[in-house]
Amino acid sequence: MKKILVTGGAGFLGSHLCERLLNDGHDVLCVDNFFTGSKQNVAHLLSNPCFELMRHDVTFPLYVEVDQIYNLACPASPIHYQFDPVQTTKTAVHGAINMLGLAKRLKARILQASTSEVYGDPEVHPQPEPYWGKVNPIGIRSCYDEGKRCAETLFFDYWRQHQLEIKVMRIFNTYGPRMHPNDGRVVSNFIVQALKGDSITIYGDGSQTRSFCYVNDLIDGMIKLMDSPADFTGPVNIGNPCEFTMLELAECVLSLIGGKSKIVFMPLPADDPKQRQPDISLAKQVLNWEPKIPLQEGLRSTITYFESVL
């Protein structure tokens, strides 16, 4: 049994990670400031004596004793991270500094939940880890993109300067139960709109692509990375390489839900990437990981969740 800290532990990914770590027999400290996380996401874990929930903002130092740290704290959808962009950057950068300082003091292994957004609007397709990306440093998405890029810089500087055991994971589009209904992400948008019988809004002409990884597959990859040999730092892409256009996703959601929703097209937001597809060769080779759950199967579980929420 390890004592494991999960920052952002009451969020979409964090709550699934906490649940999985408890099932694997660990003691879990879940830390969240509940800006986008929710107590409801972890309410079913509160009766477990190995689970502890703490309200805390990672932009302030945290003094606890743990063996491993998963740093997931940061709003991850454009609606939420653009609501207070200064705080988003602080969460990404100050949060990384505080968690790295804690890991250094404890000599604990630490994993950073980075993002495919570090690749920006990519000129290389699919995106391999050595690609440096094409990011606008002063756009409306920059608080998140550059915050996560700076966090990666800090992780690797702590690794070089202090020999800290780090793991950096670049997460591609992930979906599943416990997504926030109003997070503005395409999967939750389409499902909620279809369930309500509203028009399904596609931004742009629907030809832009994303690759969707079901949350259980993502958590498998995260834990495999944390448990990988000490000399493997990453960064490593974790996501599903099966690529879909926005129009294909909308049609898939409509076919599963039914109803009379129509598809309408809206202008594309600034700096929205045209393509997003991970090259997962490294994850296959080093972690023996690849996603197993196909899109339709994952969407069914996600639709069932949103039906209960709505």
Q: Strand, coil or helix: what is 134?
A: strand
**Residues 161-180: what's their mean pLDDT?**
97
So what's the pLDDT on residue 276? Answer: 85
Q: What mean pLDDT do residues 157-184 have?
A: 95
pLDDT band per the 50, 70, 90 thresholds, residue 181: confident
- 252 and 296 in contact (C-beta within 8 Å)? yes
pLDDT in tens, 47-64: 999 999 999 999 999 999
What pLDDT, on the 0 to 100 scale, is given for residue 297? 96
State residue 271's pLDDT score.
67
Distance CA 162, CA 11 (A): 30
Task: List the catalytic residues.
Answer: 144
Band of residue 14 on the pLDDT scale cut at 50, 70, 90 = very high
Average pLDDT of the residues in 284-304: 97
The values of phi and psi at residue 92, to 5°, are: -65, -45
pLDDT of 88 > 80? The answer is: yes
Does the pLDDT at position 200 exceed 80? yes
> For residue 95, with 0-12 CB atoms within 10 Å meaning exposed, 13-18 middle and 19 or more buried, which class applies?
buried
* pLDDT digits 0-9 by tens, 235-284: 999 999 999 999 999 999 999 999 889 999 988 877 677 888 999 999 99
Phi, psi for 125 (deg, rounded to 5): -145, 130
For residues 99-123, average pLDDT: 96
